[in-house]
Amino acid sequence: MENHKAAILLADLLFAYINKDEDFPHDFEVKAVENAVDFLEKHYTENKYNLKLFKDTINRIRSKSG
């Protein structure tokens, strides 16, 4: 049950990040989002967010960070 709660929390956090004003992402931001996406791919089972959105977002962040 804790993984389920954590997945929902991370999904909400990542969704908020996706919708923020976009600046040049720092390495620690990229790593945090990568870790969140990895965790969500393993544990997120809700229908509130589409995991493809998160995967596309990390790819976009990676391309901006150089």
pTM of the prediction? Answer: 0.71
Asked whether the CA dihedral 39, 28, 57, 55 is positive or negative, the reply is negative
Residue 3 has pLDDT above 90, yes or no: no
**CB contact at 8 A, 33 and 9:** no
Residue located via tokens 């962040």 = 61
- pLDDT, tens only, 9-64: 788 888 877 877 667 777 777 888 888 888 888 888 899 999 999 899 889 888 88
Taking the alpha carbons of 43, 46, 52, 54 in that order, is the dihedral positive or negative?
A: negative
Q: How confident is the model at residue 4 (pLDDT cuts 50, 70, 90)?
A: confident
